Amino acid sequence: MPDVHHLSQSAYDRLSSELEELTTHGRVDIARKIQAARELGDLSENGDYHAAKEEQGKMEGRIRHLQALLQDCEIVEAGATDSVATGVVVSICYEGDDDPERFLIGSIEERNGDVEVVSPGSPLGQALMGRRIGEVVGYEAPNGELRVEIVDIEA
């Protein structure tokens, strides 16, 4: 069963527009670049041709990624909440540290600005889900268990 990706409506709309742009104008532009490069002659030593083909491969990879993401997504509404849920920004302090760190709980495609993203399915994300301000939770990290206190939750 595929993973369900949680996206805000704005992220869904932005990604749908990007997919539409890539599958229409993007493919046409790449085809033109490849055709123009072919007309320059010998393909074995044609840097423009190889660059256009590489760009085409990257674009097709992004198209496949977006198609899979949008096919298996769930739109979540981020509203006022007093517990950690998908779509909120949570501030946490690691045990022994007084400086809070902010994380968006959700998909990397939601990333906005300098806030790091934590997947709800990650060990930290799982430990935080449903918890409230002031709670201390532990989770298993690669180098042992870490404990964090939830200091703020923003919709």
Residue 80: what pLDDT? 59
12 found inside a domain = yes
Q: Which two tokens stand for residue 41?
A: 């002659």
How distant, in Å, are the alpha carbons of 22, 60, 84, 131 from that of 136?
44, 44, 13, 9
Which domain does 145 fall in, by range? 89-154
Of 75, 102, 137, the residue at which a domain comes to its end is 75
In CATH, what number is assigned to the domain containing residue 125?
Answer: 3.10.50.30
Does residue 146 lie in a domain region?
Answer: yes
Q: Do 62 and 103 lie in a common domain?
A: no
Q: What's the pLDDT at 131? A: 94
Q: What's the domain count of the chain?
A: 2
CATH code: domain of residue 49: 1.10.287.180
pLDDT at 20: 97
Mean pLDDT by 10 residues, the chain (155 residues): 73 93 96 90 82 95 94 77 85 92 87 84 92 94 92 88
Q: Does the residue 67 lie in any domain?
A: yes
Query: Quick check: 109 and 7 in contact, CB under 8 A?
Result: yes
| pLDDT value of position 67 | 95
Q: What is the pTM of this model?
A: 0.71
| CA-based R_g, the chain, Å | 21
